[in-house]
Amino acid sequence: MRRAALLSLFAVLLAAAYQTRGTPSAQTREIAPGVFLRAAEPDKRIIANAGWVVFRDYVLVIDANYPWGARAILDDVRKTTDKPIRFVFDTHYHGDHAHGNGVFVAAGATIVCSADCLAESRRKNPPAWEKSAADYKGETLEHPQVGFPERMVFDDGTHRVELIKVGPGHTLGDAVAWLPKERILFTGDLCVNKRPGNNLADPDADPEHWVQALDGLMKYGVAQVIPGHGQPGGNEALAGQRAYIQAIIDGVRAGIGKGQTADQLADTLDLSMYAPWGADKARNAPSIRAVYAKLKR
Ligand SMILES: [Zn+2]
């Protein structure tokens, strides 16, 4: 009897513990033991994917998102573990991946990214933040406090996460999070697995080095790719992103050789076979023009 009473008390306490923790949102799922993905939630303007890894004593979050996204991530992290969020890794400095840094700093985290990403954040985020001032009322812009030159490794024997600088590509400071045990790769926007793909007209983009960066990532032997935006995939997501960028470079180069103008190429270069990236002709045009301007130099 006594043992049964103790057991039932234990069950009640256990249930209470789970109740206070609650259930994470439908966006969150455990993609490997202790490794979580929180998929984007566009109708809440949380446009980028994020993730976290539960180490023995702490949590490492991958991508801080916008401030409102950071709060949603924080909420979901708390529902998966009681461990503190000690580190947040920004794959790059763009707002949809890094402007939520302040929310995590307020919660006690240190923000890490590549040294180039840190420099980009200091140089480019103050004006970018100013542009979105209406959205960021009451929020704090926090730059990463730690910048690693090439690589930073978190390994406590239970999990290993390697942060590896692979840019320039989408930005100068692009870095990925690689989990060699689980063969999971968080790519940031080096890989975007959805229509209309990446905008190569972004002044941060370096298409030729981007292709090289993807070549490097394709050698990892990934089991799961978590792209910055879009659905999780495998090596084919990296290969598809690479093929799309390379097709623009090759098409533009061939067009320049034939004396075609940027406008002619934007109108005629057919990228529809590189769906989902190239499926949207109107969205391809600025990328084609930008690559043209770079190659024509
Ligand atoms: Zn993004």
- 162-192 pLDDT per residue, tens: 999 999 999 999 999 999 999 999 999 999 9
For residue 135, pLDDT over 90 is answered with: yes
Domains in the chain: how many in total? Answer: 1
Q: Note the pLDDT of residue 286.
A: 95
pLDDT at res. 196: 80
The confidence band for 50, taking pLDDT boundaries of 50, 70 and 90, is: very high
Q: How far is the CA of 95 from the centre of ligand 1 (A)?
A: 8
Q: What CATH number does residue 109 fall under?
A: 3.60.15.10
Say what the alpha-carbon torsion angle 271, 276, 281, 282 is, to the nearest 10 degrees.
Answer: -140
- With respect to residue 185, please indicate whether it lies within any of the assigned structural domains: yes
Give Rg (Cα) of the chain: 21
The amino acid at 224 = Q
Distance 94 CA to ligand 1 centre (A): 7
Over residues 142-150, mean pLDDT = 98
Cα(108) to centroid(ligand 1), Å: 24
pLDDT computed for residue 120 by the predictor = 98
Q: How many CA atoms lie within 13 A of 78 on its CB side?
A: 12
Query: Tokens 């180039």 appear where?
Result: 116
List, for residues 207-248, the tens digit of each pLDDT value.
Answer: 999 999 999 999 999 999 999 999 999 999 999 999 999 999
Q: CA 62, CA 89: separation in Å to the nearest integer?
A: 5
Q: Ligand 1 mean position to 189 CA, how many Å?
A: 5
> Is residue 10 in a domain?
no
Quick one: tokens of 203?
């002044």
Ligand 1 centroid to Cα of residue 196, in Å, is 13
Whether 292 maps to a domain, the answer reads: no
**In the chain, pLDDT over 70 holds for what percent of residues?**
94
Please tell me the distance between residue 63's alpha carbon and the centre of ligand 1 in angstroms.
10
Residue 186, classified by CB atoms within 10 Å of its CB into exposed (0-12), middle (13-18) or buried (19+), is: buried
pLDDT-derived band at 296 (thresholds 50, 70, 90) equals confident
**Residue 35 maps to a domain:** yes
DSSP state of 231: -
C-alpha of residue 254 to centroid of ligand 1, in Å: 30
Backbone angles phi, psi at 210, to 5 degrees: -60, -45
- Calculate how far, in angstroms, residue 114's C-alpha sits from the geometric centre of ligand 1: 16
Please report, as a single letter, which amino acid is at residue 251: G
61-100 b/e with 16+ CB inside 10 Å = b? bbbbbbbbbbbbbbebbbbbbeeebbbbbbbbbbbbbbbb
Give the rounded percent of residues in the chain with a pLDDT score beyond 90.
89
Q: How far is the CA of 6 from the centre of ligand 1 (A)?
A: 51
Q: Which residues pair with 53 in a beta bridge?
A: 35, 60
Statement: residue 140 has pLDDT above 90:
yes
d(CA 35, CA 50): 11
pLDDT band for position 197 (50/70/90)?
Answer: confident
For the chain, counts of helices (H) and of strands (E): 9, 12
Q: Residue 85 gets which letter from DSSP?
A: E
What is the span of the domain harbouring residue 25?
Answer: 16-234
- Listed in sequence order, the residues at least 6 apart from 228 whose beta carbon sits closer than 8 Å to its beta carbon are 48, 49, 63, 91, 97, 170, 187, 188, 189, 190, 191, 192
Residue 254: inside a domain? no
Average pLDDT of the chain to the nearest whole number: 94
For the cut 90, the answer to whether the pLDDT of residue 3 exceeds it is: no
Gap from CA of 261 to ligand 1 centroid (Å): 30
214-219 CB contacts, 8 Å cutoff, 24+ apart: 214/169, 214/190, 214/238, 214/239, 214/241, 214/242, 214/245, 215/242, 216/166, 217/166, 217/176, 217/185, 217/187, 217/190, 217/191, 218/242
What spacing in Å lies between the alpha carbon of 61 and ligand 1's midpoint? 16
50 inside domain? yes
Q: Are β-strands 184-193 and 50-54 bridged in parallel, bridged antiparallel, or unpaired?
A: unpaired
Q: How confident is the model at residue 295 (pLDDT cuts 50, 70, 90)?
A: very high
Distance from Cα 131 to the centre of ligand 1, integer Å: 17
Is 167 within a domain? yes
Task: With cut-offs at 50, 70 and 90, classify the pLDDT of residue 8.
Answer: confident
Neighbours of 53 (CB within 10 A): 25
Which chain residues have CB less than 5 Å from ligand 1, an ion? 48, 96, 189, 228
In-domain check, residue 223: yes
Three-class SS of residue 185?
A: strand
- pTM over 0.95? The answer is no
